[in-house]
Amino acid sequence: MEAVFIYIAKSAVLMLLFYCVYFFLLRRETFFNSNRWFLLSGLIISSILPILSYTKVIWIDVAPNLNSNIQSALLSAPEKQSSDNNWSFIILGLYVIGFLIFLLKLAVDFYSLNSIIKGKKVKQQADFKFIDTEENIAPFSYFEYIVYNSSLYTVTELENIIEHEKVHSDQNHTIDVLISRFFSIIFWFNPIVWLYKKAISQNLEFIADSEASKKLADKKAYQYTLLKITTHENCVAITNHFYQSLIKKRIVMLNKNQSKKRNSWKYYVVIPALAAFVLLFQIEVIAKERPQIVNENESNIKSVDVYKIRKNSTDAELNEIKNNLQKNHNIKFEASDVRRNSSDELTSIVVDVTKGKQRAKSVQSSDKAINEFGVLVITYKNGDKKIGIQTINDSNNKESKVALSKGITSVNVNTDKKNDTNSPSSDSHIIITNNPNSKTDTHVNINSSTSTKTNSNTNTDISTVVTTDSDSKTSTKITIVGEKSNIAFSNSAKKNKAEGSPLVIIDGEEMPANYDLKRIDSKHIEAINVFKGEDAISRYGEKGSNGVIEIELKVGDKHTKY
């Protein structure tokens, strides 16, 4: 409802703009035909321009208490909205009543016109249809029809009248009259539309007077004819009739010298005014919350699916994985460079998985059987999906490598089995080597979490890699899921909180507790070692209870202080 009122208000403003330019600058000029198109374009622009708008998006960082502000606003909204709706319906009801009244008046005028034309003898001459009626009405034209009562005028007067009406008919002035009439019905409440309608009709008479006087030998006789008909009161609406008020102005314009062409600059005054209108009212500014990159946790995840590829996987099984990924997740799966040994075990395979701009790739090639891995699909509660490669560690697998997209060259998951293989306190750490061509920063966050179950319904410890396109604003996550901890690597620039943050060691030097990792440019990093649990405590004592991040800088950057 509010949108309708705004549209009507904007249209009224534009109509007022064109009318003011015409009234103050153009109505005394003899550019009658130009004025005609100027006035018509004003009506068309005033009806179309308010619909057109340009949307400008402004990204904002939302304050922490924004949600509470929104909730309080929503709680107070219903009462105010209910009150506004009551007034809206009242105003709408008044508008509809006025609209129906003027629409009914238009129907009556059409009926009156039809009763005058219908059944009358029509004399065809060129493109005109002449009707000589016996009714006491003023001469008028309606499209190709020209109606008059010849008994009321002399031969000379009738000639002047017919030439005048021919101009109206030949230039289709009836269309202008109908357009202005329809606008006066739609915007009946706006006084400007009635002045605008009058200006259009008056200018049409100026055009007809000017063109008719050029074809007549006696210009003064034409003016006397105008004066004779000023007392005629019987006129048909929605037509161009010879009788019009303001006869004095018509005679003045007939005798006025032609305006100089340099005065045509006045038409262009409306252009900067229209530009100002667009800038002020037609640019819609939308504030959007800047995407917040946060650590992922199980509360946001709906499901985790892993499609395992083992050393003895057959071509049929690979094809089944491909079909399931396409069918269930709309993910494209390609397996190439597939080779097997004499025991029919996979020794070489390249797996390329893509979904939109996301891409994950695994390359394995050696003389021995491949390390088992899986295609990982994380489905979030909001329907989004992320893809990656899951490396599956076992007692025979000391090191697994996964190829990633931009930002990280490789991820090595090293496990030294100091204790029993089933012990959760096994010595393990992760080394991340940055791509020197990447401009993205690598940040490390350590969070407490429980283990994530795969679709195999086991609690197997996994190393998860989730990659996204470098042009995407979403974070790239690498999650190592163990029995008691969750380590996530993200290229977000979110500052670590001092409380519960890991101990940061750069080239052997301990950093302060509130140290901000985003101060480090990833191009200077040679490697990152992450220690967790008992392993971190055994190396650094209680200071390592929240985990330890060891960062080794490149040789040329050893002197750099952070």
What confidence tens digit (pLDDT) does each residue in 250-308 have?
A: 888 888 889 999 999 999 999 999 999 999 988 887 776 665 544 445 567 888 888 99
- Distance in angstroms (rounded) separating the CA atoms of residues 63 and 224: 78
The verdict on 371 and 429 lying in the same domain is: yes
Can you give the pLDDT at residue 269?
94
Domain range enclosing 90: 2-284
Condensed to tens digits (0 to 9), the pLDDT of residues 365-374 reads: 888 888 888 8
The verdict on 448 and 343 lying in the same domain is: yes
Can you give the pLDDT at residue 477?
36
- Quote the pTM value: 0.51
Can you give the pLDDT at residue 558?
60
The verdict on 174 and 225 lying in the same domain is: yes
Number of domains in the chain: 2
Q: Of the residues 284, 307, 322, which one is the last residue of a structural domain?
A: 284
The verdict on 119 and 227 lying in the same domain is: yes
The verdict on 523 and 387 lying in the same domain is: yes
Q: Of the residues 284, 319, 353, which one is the last residue of a structural domain?
A: 284
Can you give the pLDDT at residue 357?
84
The length of the chain is 562
User: How many C-beta neighbours within 10 Å does residue 123 have?
Assistant: 11
The verdict on 411 and 488 lying in the same domain is: yes
- Distance in angstroms (rounded) separating the CA atoms of residues 201 and 195: 10
Q: What is the DSSP pairing of strand 408-416 with strand 123-125?
A: unpaired
- Distance in angstroms (rounded) separating the CA atoms of residues 330 and 18: 55
Cα 317 from chain centroid? Answer: 44
Check if the beta carbon of residue 259 is closer than 8 Å to that of residue 29.
Answer: yes
Q: Is residue 292 part of a domain?
A: no
Q: Which residue has the tokens 């005033």?
A: 46
The verdict on 366 and 400 lying in the same domain is: yes
Residue ranges in the chain whose pLDDT is less than 70: 1, 61-84, 230-237, 241-245, 288-299, 392-500, 522, 535, 538, 556-562
Q: Is residue 89 part of a domain?
A: yes
The verdict on 217 and 303 lying in the same domain is: no
The verdict on 260 and 368 lying in the same domain is: no
Can you give the pLDDT at residue 63?
52
Q: What is the DSSP pairing of strand 548-553 with strand 525-531?
A: antiparallel
Q: Is residue 428 part of a domain?
A: yes
The verdict on 259 and 308 lying in the same domain is: no
Q: Which residue has the tokens 């005798």?
A: 255
What phi and psi values does residue 420 have, to the nearest 5 degrees? Answer: -65, 145
